[in-house]
C-alpha cells in the first residue's frame, strides 16, 4: 500500500504554480478550476505540530484538477519530468480512463507536464496522450520523447500567469473544430 510520505513532495512546485495560475484566472473570471484533494487516512500525527507524518491513500484518485473554463468542463493532471523521456508508467490506467470518460461527456482533458530540466511547461492534448497510450498498449514504447511533442503546445509564461494552460485549451479547441 503506498503511503503519503513515500512520495515526498513530488510535483509540489508545479502544483503551486498551477494553483497561483488558477487564482489569477478566477480573479479575472476566465476559469474556475479547483485542486482535487487526494483522500488519505492518517496513520501517524505529530502531536506537537498536529501535522500528518504518515498516511495511506484511501482510494485511487482521478485527476489533480477539475472545473470549468467559460462554460466548458475541464480536467487535467499535473506531471513533472526531469529528462527528455516521459514514462507512461507515471500515468495510471484509472486516470486515463477517467479522462477518456470525461471527454465522452463533452469535456476537455489534458496533462500539464513540467520539463523541469528545460524549465518548460507543456500542454499534452488528450488525443495525443491516447496516441502514446495506445502505442504502449499494442506493444510499442512505454514512454514518449520530448521530440515527439507538438511544438505549438509548449506554454510561455505571461507575467503573473505562470502556467498559461488556457492558451493550450484554445489551441486544442481550434484543432477539434
- Check the annotation: does 77 bind a ligand: yes
**What residue spans of the chain are helical by DSSP H?**
12-27, 93-104, 126-137, 165-176
- Check the annotation: does 62 bind a ligand: yes
Q: Is the dihedral of CA 68, 12, 28, 169 positive or negative?
A: negative
**How many angstroms separate the first and last alpha carbons of the chain?**
43
Asked if 24 and 8 touch (Cβ cutoff 8 Å), the reply is no
3-state secondary structure of 177: coil
- Angle, CA 21 vertex, CA 20 and CA 23 arms, to 5°: 65
- Check the annotation: does 95 bind a ligand: yes
The annotated binding site is made up of 62, 64, 77, 95
The annotated binding site for Mg(2+) is made up of 62, 64, 77, 95
Amino acid at each position: 500500500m503506498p503511503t503519503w510520505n513515500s512520495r515526498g513532495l513530488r510535483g509540489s512546485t508545479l502544483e503551486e504554480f498551477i494553483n497561483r495560475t488558477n487564482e489569477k484566472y478566477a480573479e479575472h473570471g476566465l476559469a474556475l478550476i479547483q485542486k482535487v484533494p487526494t483522500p488519505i487516512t492518517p496513520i501517524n500525527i505529530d502531536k506537537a505540530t498536529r501535522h500528518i507524518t504518515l498516511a495511506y491513500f484511501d482510494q485511487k484518485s482521478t485527476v489533480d484538477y477539475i472545473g470549468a473554463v467559460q462554460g466548458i468542463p475541464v480536467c487535467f493532471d499535473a506531471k513533472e519530468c526531469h529528462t527528455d523521456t516521459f514514462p507512461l508508467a507515471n500515468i495510471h490506467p484509472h486516470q486515463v480512463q477517467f479522462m477518456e470518460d470525461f471527454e465522452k461527456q463533452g469535456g476537455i482533458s489534458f496533462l500539464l507536464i513540467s520539463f523541469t530540466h528545460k524549465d518548460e511547461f507543456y500542454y499534452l492534448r488528450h488525443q495525443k496522450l491516447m496516441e502514446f497510450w495506445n502505442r504502449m498498449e499494442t506493444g510499442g514504447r512505454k514512454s514518449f520523447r520530448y521530440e515527439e511533442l507538438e511544438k505549438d503546445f509548449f506554454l510561455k509564461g505571461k507575467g503573473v500567469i505562470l502556467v498559461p494552460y488556457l492558451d493550450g485549451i484554445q489551441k486544442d479547441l481550434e484543432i477539434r473544430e
